[in-house]
Amino acid sequence: MNPKPWPLRVLKFILLGILFVAAMGYATMSLWNWLVPELFHGPVISFWQTLGLLLLTRLLTGFKGGGGRPGFSRKWQQHKNDWKQKMESRMAGMTPEEQEKFRQKMRASCGPPWMRRSAPETTFNTQAE
């Protein structure tokens, strides 16, 4: 079996890439020109403007993968597990009083402002006897 010469494979890859970009550009241009002027009173755009928008989108969002980037969930899960183990080892080295003090401090300072619990206020007697 004789494999295809590499220049033909490269040419085929380039042509399929150009065809893919042109098809995506045409589909995007058609959707934009169908929806945006009607819904938002926006401009009608040309094919080249569409390709520019697609390139800008890729520059802003990154060239690797789509929205569901492979491996991202696994990396995030590993990060969470590492953090949890680190916190458990820190808590294991604390006395129960230190653990409760730490929990109260975290409840008072972490999370969105509307969910923060106010730490119990300690009153000091500042009057001298």
Alpha helices, H only, 5-61:
6-40, 47-61
- 1: three-class secondary structure by DSSP: coil
pLDDT by residue (tens digit) across 37-76?
999 999 999 999 999 999 998 888 877 654 555 666 778 8
pLDDT by residue (tens digit) across 23-43?
999 999 999 999 999 999 999
Residue with tokens 């589909």: 27
Helix H or strand E encompassing 47: helix 47-61
Angstrom distances, CA of residue 112 to CA of 8, 46, 107: 59, 45, 11
